Structure 1
Amino acid sequence: MSEQALHKQNKMGRDVMAGAIFLVIALAFGAQALSYDMGRTIRMGPGFIPLTLAVLLGIFGIAVAVAGFRKHDTAEVGPVAWRGIFLVCVSLVIFGAYGRQLGLVPVVFICVFIVAMASVKNTVVSALAIAAALAVMCWLVFKVGLGMSLHTIGPAFGPFQVF
């Protein structure tokens, strides 16, 4: 087998494996979501959105796997983006661990800034602008638009707690 054919097979295998991983995760989350009440479209239960997302992830996984079987290009696969993987994971941990203490706007700002810095194409200024824009958008959608009872500024800020 030539080196080019081996590379093509290796890349195809990666996409098929990634699609299979997405599908397994979707099945696991879908099975868990089915243990909750689905409700109706007009009055959704706690399992409705997780099941919907699991179905979408499953469709995405199938699409990635099928695309892996159809690949005919021989583009080089670059190195693994460890910086991006690490910063996205750190951001998720911060959001989960400190979301309630910091409040919606600060935790979204911090997490989006960290994720924006995962790309080498972003500067600190552009990451700050992205973080500020997304924090404002989240506040508008979740607090103003949907009226959710989230702290805008959390108890960690003490007297600066506005809403």
Structure 2
Amino acid sequence: MFTAVGIVFAVGATNFTVGSAARMGPGYFPLLLGILLAILGVIVTLQSFKSKATDGDPIGSFAWRPLGFIIGANLAFGVLLVGVPALGIPAFGMIIAIYALVLIAGFARPNSSIKESLILATILAAGSYFAFVYALNLQFPVWPAFVTA
């Protein structure tokens, strides 16, 4: 996967002016990252063939719970952040989306704590607000429209 993504990024970067190390173009950095990622993928693949186990390690069962909750948390974050007008779902803003993301993803771990997730969500929401809205001055909905109206 690393190799494939690295090659795609490197090839995609050639659509931009690459330039040189002394005078970098917009495609220079993505090209180098793509090449490094592809090299890392080749190294990881080669290392995987050097197993020291005689019979190999047994493959464990598939972790459905974490997979479902993590994917669901990311989907909920996207839907709540920007909304889905075609389905009549309004944008709820960054703060609500972060709380939903953290609370849903917290259930991926057995014996998860709601209190722990709420504390983490509060820290992440405050940090995101400071970084994106205050420091970078990005313009996107922080709260739902019915709260700010």
Q: TM-score range by the shorter chain?
A: 0.5 to 0.7
Distance 1:92 1:132 in 2: 17
Give 1:151 deviation, angstroms. 1.6
Give 1:72 deviation, angstroms. 2.6
Matching of residue 69 in structure 1 with residue 49 in structure 2: yes
Give 1:27 deviation, angstroms. 2.9
Distance 1:122 1:95 in 2: 19
SS in 2 for 1:120: coil
What corresponds to 1:25 in structure 2? 5
| Structure 1 unaligned spans of 5+ | 1-20
What corresponds to 2:148 in structure 1? 161
Whether the 8 Å contact between 1:116 and 1:130 is mirrored in structure 2 is no
Whether the 8 Å contact between 1:87 and 1:114 is mirrored in structure 2 is yes
Distance 1:48 1:121 in 2: 46
Give the 5 Å matches for 1:1-163: 21-32=1-12, 34-35=14-15, 57-58=37-38, 61-72=41-52, 76-100=58-82, 101-155=91-145, 158=146, 160-161=147-148
Is the alpha carbon distance of 1:124 and 1:37 closer, same or farther for their aligned partners in structure 2, counting shifts above 3 Å?
farther
Give the length in aligned residue pairs. 137
- Aligned-pair identity in percent equals 22
Question: What letter is aligned with 1:80?
Answer: F
Whether the 8 Å contact between 1:84 and 1:118 is mirrored in structure 2 is yes
Is the alpha carbon distance of 1:122 and 1:59 closer, same or farther for their aligned partners in structure 2, counting shifts above 3 Å?
farther
Whether the 8 Å contact between 1:109 and 1:135 is mirrored in structure 2 is yes
Distance 2:95 2:32 in 1: 27
Give 1:33 deviation, angstroms. 5.4
SS in 1 for 2:95: helix
Give me the TM-score of the superposition, normalised by structure 2: 0.66
Whether the 8 Å contact between 2:78 and 2:97 is mirrored in structure 1 is no
Give me the TM-score of the superposition, normalised by structure 1: 0.62
Whether the 8 Å contact between 2:73 and 2:104 is mirrored in structure 1 is yes
SS in 2 for 1:78: coil
Question: What letter is aligned with 1:64?
Answer: V
